Amino acid sequence: MLCTRLRAALSIQFRRSSSSTPSPFPYIHSLPRHFSSTPLPIASMASNHPKDEAYLRKVIAKRIQVFQSIQSRQLAQRESLPADPIKITLPDGTVKEGKKWVTSPMDVAKEISKSLAANALISQVNGVLWDMTRPLEDDCELKLFTFDSDEGRDTFWHSSAHILGESVEQEYGCKLCIGPCTTRGEGFYYDAFYGDLGLNDDHFKQIESAAMKAVADKQPFERIEVSKDEALQIFSENHFKIEIINDLPADKTITVYRCGPLVDLCRGPHIPNTSFVKAIACLKASSAYWRGNKDRESLQRVYGISYPDKKRLQEYIKQLEEAKKYDHRLVGTKQELFFCHPLSPGSWFFLPHGARIYNKLMDFIRSQYRERGYQEVLSPNMYNMQLWETSGHAANYKENMFVFEVEKQEFGLKPMNCPGHCLMFQHRVRSYRELPLRLADFGVLHRNEASGALTGLTRVRRFQQDDAHIFCRESQIKEEVRGVLDFIKHVYDVFGFTFDLKLSTRPEKYLGDLATWERAEAALAEALDESGKPWQINEGDGAFYGPKIDISVSDALNRKFQCATLQLDFQLPARFELYYSAEDEAKRETPVMIHRAVLGSVERMFAILLEHYKGKWPFWLSPRQAIVCPVSEKSQPYALKVQDQIFRAGYHVDVDTTDRKIQKKIREAQLAQYNFILVVGEEEANTGQVSVRVRDKADHSVMSIESLLKHFEGEIAAFH
């Protein structure tokens, strides 16, 4: 029953608008009615799909046999090593004794308490995530994580993806591709090739039943390390896995995990065993292309969710049902804010009321730019591919760009602003006195997203960002980062968001010298400390060209989104040979570049805010701040006069000139989410007043136009 409700909460359908459908805003001039949206994928009807039992038995038996052979060899090697004593330091400074190659994090957890051992999902050893059952190899600092941590949740959902993979392979004999936890941090999926089988709810029930059987079997997650040749042997019958393996360097050590009959390529780590998962459900299925290439095999992606108890799954279902009601595609269509047309997929049309919100968001950021020392610039939309070769995008990002020929030369629409801003810095000699130089740009960006990946306003091809790049000296990094964090806090406080901060540090492969990285990371850490907000370290997750701060916001439905960006870059300034004159004019220095955005994509933030506010826009951002409702036709001239006064004061105001009864006008205005409903009749016309009703409040009051406008001013000022 739970899982049926869960999938019902996800089955959002859109009906194509037709000219015969009455407008929800009949008192406003007719607007284009192209509110057609692509429905979420609907699986085909269930079918009896035979699986090749003989093939499955052969493949699974072979994989397990090779796995066990390698595992036995590695266990024997480990047992031959000396079990020297080691010291295990816990976060509180406690030091535990252990034995090298024998003691595991689970042993330490059991020594601390039974409760911890029952709930610890994953550990971190000297900053590296580590299986709870994997023996420790030397003196170390040890941290343990439960489901209530990001590390614990990600590992839990990653392990659940393996349970899902095991289930679909066992049930349908499909060829498994990849199965991670989702980047949004809310569940997991597994891509697989099913041939001509289309999955639906009946299949989901079978998958869930198989998954719960795997959970009941308490299958341990076992880990081995293999060579490339051994990996090719294990997965010889799966060309998808073979392709992944062949892309790895010849000397690469590959990790492979097993749970029950499933043996899979995986970096890990994983939870101790499948029984830690107490509730698991399939959410939906959608199509995907192997490696995102539309010319390759068509796969099916099954999404799932799991929890360590059933109560959390019930809460998640309730949250999904709530989110369904306020999906931005539904509310945006109802409020006539935007639409998408098949003649321009992934590029949204913003109607007058939607454009009001879009522009207000940019105006809000612009007002902050003036206060915070940013200079807004305009840059071209398309560039010769030479620019993208210099920046590195031609080699690493070209498939995500729109590329075309102009006069026998290759050009590309910009997917980001940073290379263009490098040209702006470069176009004349710069002095240290000009730094920090903060360049902001709302330029239109295009990214060639696959049509199947396009999702409302959150995954688009054409968008704008509140993009800015700060060119500064290394000694200015801390102060600039502190300023960006303050900027982000101010904006998110206005929106009513909470947010989390993580410092992502130097990865294994990085550009530049170690000392510069360490100084930059220290500067970021100091800025984070001074922000007054708690933060965490995300070891080794920085980009190769610089450390970054990851900012994730939580909305009213407790969903997490990553919108803001704060990234240090040592690479682009070097690639573009940027420099400035130091105090000693004979000396040139290379600036550090800071990429930052607060809203991120304006389209995506629009969608998040629409769902966060549940369509009830705050007054300062509302596209429908007020509506004047005349009691009768006799009151219309005064209503239009009131509208004119409010409009001239700078507010968004409409008039309902229909012949409906006043109660009906008020009800329609309430449904349209006007912040203020202003009723006027003969009495108000004679006294120069309006009867004011505030959205979601039962009472009303009578005010003069002057008093009303002062009240509006106070509403606008309050958001700051």
pLDDT at residue 655 above 70?
yes
- Range 544-569 burial, b when 16+ CB lie within 10 A, else e: ebbbbbbbbbebeeebebbbbbbbbb
Domain assignment present for 45 = no
Give mean pLDDT, residues 567-595: 92
Domain ends where: 96, 113, 145?
145
What CATH code is carried by the domain that includes residue 483?
A: 3.30.930.10
Domain range for 133 is 81-145
pLDDT at residue 703 above 70?
yes
Q: Name the nearest CA neighbour of 693 among 684, 685, 702.
A: 702
Structure tokens at 618: 């705050």
- Give the confidence band of 545 by pLDDT, cuts at 50, 70, 90: confident
Please name the residue that has the structure tokens 């006027």. Answer: 680
pLDDT at residue 372 above 50?
yes
Structure tokens at 529: 């400390």
Domain assignment present for 324 = no
Check residues 690 and 31 and name the one with the higher pLDDT.
Answer: 690
Give mean pLDDT, residues 607-631: 96
Residue 578, SS3? coil
Domain ends where: 94, 119, 145?
145
- Give the confidence band of 186 by pLDDT, cuts at 50, 70, 90: confident
pLDDT at residue 26 above 90?
no
CB of 211 within 8 A of CB of 179?
no
What CATH code is carried by the domain that includes residue 155?
A: 3.30.980.10
- Give CA–CA dist 176/660, Å, rounded: 60
- Give the confidence band of 720 by pLDDT, cuts at 50, 70, 90: low
Q: What is the pLDDT of residue 49?
A: 58
- Give the confidence band of 19 by pLDDT, cuts at 50, 70, 90: very low
- Give the confidence band of 8 by pLDDT, cuts at 50, 70, 90: low
Give mean pLDDT, residues 399-410: 94
Q: What is the 3-state secondary structure (H, E, C) of 359-391?
A: HHHHHHHHHHHHHHCCEECCCCCEEEHHHHHHH
Catalytic residue, chosen from 158, 446, 447, 506, is 447
Pair (118, 167) in one structural domain: no
Pair (544, 658) in one structural domain: no
Pairing of strands 444-446, 409-413: unpaired
Q: What is the pLDDT of residue 538?
A: 84
Structure tokens at 614: 């549940």
- Give CA–CA dist 631/173, Å, rounded: 69
Catalytic residue, chosen from 418, 422, 563, 629, is 418
H helix runs in 53-149, sequence order = 53-79, 105-112, 114-119
Catalytic residue, chosen from 595, 612, 665, 693, is 595
- Range 661-695 burial, b when 16+ CB lie within 10 A, else e: ebeebbebbeebbbbbbbbbbeebbeeebbbbbeb
Domain assignment present for 433 = yes
Domain assignment present for 27 = no
Catalytic residue, chosen from 465, 476, 571, 673, is 465
Pair (438, 585) in one structural domain: yes
- Give the confidence band of 452 by pLDDT, cuts at 50, 70, 90: confident
Give the pTM.
Answer: 0.80
Pair (169, 311) in one structural domain: yes
CB of 412 within 8 A of CB of 402?
yes
Give mean pLDDT, residues 495-514: 88
Residue 234, SS3? helix
Averaged pLDDT score across all residues of the chain: 90
- Give the confidence band of 319 by pLDDT, cuts at 50, 70, 90: confident
Q: What is the pLDDT of residue 52?
A: 73
Domain assignment present for 328 = no
Pair (220, 273) in one structural domain: yes
Domain count, the chain: 4
Pair (291, 217) in one structural domain: yes
pLDDT tens for residues 128-153?
999 999 999 999 999 999 999 989 99
Catalytic residue, chosen from 467, 569, 654, 656, is 467
Reported residue count of the chain is 720
Check residues 603 and 697 and name the one with the higher pLDDT.
Answer: 603
Q: What is the pLDDT of residue 183?
A: 67
Q: What is the pLDDT of residue 48?
A: 54
Q: What is the pLDDT of residue 5?
A: 56
Catalytic residue, chosen from 548, 596, 652, 665, is 548
Check residues 1 and 406 and name the one with the higher pLDDT.
Answer: 406
Please name the residue that has the structure tokens 């203020």. Answer: 676
Domain assignment present for 335 = no
- Give the confidence band of 395 by pLDDT, cuts at 50, 70, 90: confident
Least confident of 176-185, 192-201, 389-398, 711-720: 176-185
- Residue ranges of E strands in 61-185: 85-89, 95-99, 122-125, 128-130, 140-145, 175-176
Catalytic residue, chosen from 469, 559, 604, 612, is 469
Check residues 418 and 186 and name the one with the higher pLDDT.
Answer: 418
Pair (103, 61) in one structural domain: no
- Give CA–CA dist 463/635, Å, rounded: 44
- Give CA–CA dist 354/299, Å, rounded: 36
Query: How much of the chain exceeds pLDDT 70, in percent?
Result: 92
Q: What is the pLDDT of residue 50?
A: 63
Alpha carbons within 13 A on the beta-carbon side of 202: 9
- Range 39-63 burial, b when 16+ CB lie within 10 A, else e: eeeebeebeebebeeeebeebbebb
Pair (578, 451) in one structural domain: yes
- Give the confidence band of 586 by pLDDT, cuts at 50, 70, 90: confident
Q: What is the pLDDT of residue 12?
A: 41
Phi, psi of 368 (to 5 degrees): -70, -35
Phi, psi of 473 (to 5 degrees): -85, 160
Domain ends where: 567, 582, 609?
609
Pair (240, 117) in one structural domain: no
Q: Verify whether residue 447 is a known catalytic residue.
A: yes
Pair (124, 193) in one structural domain: no
pLDDT at residue 613 above 70?
yes
- Give CA–CA dist 544/295, Å, rounded: 30
Alpha carbons within 13 A on the beta-carbon side of 480: 27
Structure tokens at 212: 């719960």
- Give the confidence band of 508 by pLDDT, cuts at 50, 70, 90: confident
Residue 607, SS3? helix
Tell me the sheet residues that pair with 376: 440
Q: Verify whether residue 328 is a known catalytic residue.
A: no
**Distance of alpha carbon 245 from the chain centroid:** 28
- Give the confidence band of 233 by pLDDT, cuts at 50, 70, 90: very high
Domain assignment present for 124 = yes
Helix (H) or strand (E) holding 383: strand 382-384
pLDDT at residue 285 above 70?
yes
Q: Verify whether residue 634 is a known catalytic residue.
A: no
Q: Verify whether residue 467 is a known catalytic residue.
A: yes
pLDDT at residue 716 above 80?
yes
Q: Verify whether residue 148 is a known catalytic residue.
A: no
Q: What is the pLDDT of residue 676?
A: 97
Q: Name the nearest CA neighbour of 268 among 280, 259, 281.
A: 259
pLDDT at residue 14 above 50?
no
Number of H helices, E strands in the chain: 22, 33
Pair (541, 638) in one structural domain: no
What CATH code is carried by the domain that includes residue 123?
A: 3.10.20.30
Pair (139, 155) in one structural domain: no
- Give the confidence band of 491 by pLDDT, cuts at 50, 70, 90: very high
Domain assignment present for 599 = yes
